[in-house]
Structure 1
Amino acid sequence: MIRIVVAILLIGHGLVHLLGFVVPWRLATLEEMPYKTTLLAGNLDVGAAGIRVVGLLWLLAAIGFVVAGVAVFTLRPWWGIVTLGVTLFSLALCILGWPDARFGLLINLIILAYLLFGWR
């Protein structure tokens, strides 16, 4: 049962990462997430092209979490290393996206704690 819950949570976390893709690529307009070209709490302006590259990184993280969730669900032996890698990658993205991505940062820290101290 816990395996199914973890898989669903990882996939859900991955789907939320799509917001980091659709806004920079202007595929969606969200009042809560306005389009901007800055990172690190507005201290680093990467321009329109740079923010699209960052958007692709968020898409990559989304795919990674979905793969991790499917790996957990299907009992793949490599689920842990994939989950660890994508979580660390997402953690870096959340730092770049601070403070907007602060909730994602918290979720990533919970996932890391789970990987280090939880289910084996």
Structure 2
Amino acid sequence: MELTGTLLTGYGFWNPVILILAGLVTGLVAYLLWKRGVSTYRKGSEQEKPYISGNPEPEKNAVHIRGGNVYWGFTEGLKGFYSRVIPAHSGDLNDYMLWYFGVMIAICAVVVIFQ
């Protein structure tokens, strides 16, 4: 099969040349829309501040919600699970990748053995 040929499936067709052209046209339209944007933007001015119905913006630490508060019900409901898992949590990416690859190797071994 040639690389630029059309692949017919039961749901339609796929042609890489058409998709590349569609991507270029979409990119051109997006660029033209971006160029029509307002060019009077001034960095460091009032334009950067959020509009909160005319009210002043509160301090960041006054409105920041910690993740523990957001997920309190979830973590409280699974407290039995988390109490066992948290001590094993090291925060080191190398440990997580070792576990990931170890489990993937084990899954591949099981698939090959019981094929």
* TM-score, normalised relative to structure 2: 0.25
The structure whose Rg is larger is: 2
Q: Which has the higher contact order (CA 8 A, sep 6+)?
A: 1
* TM-score, normalised relative to structure 1: 0.24
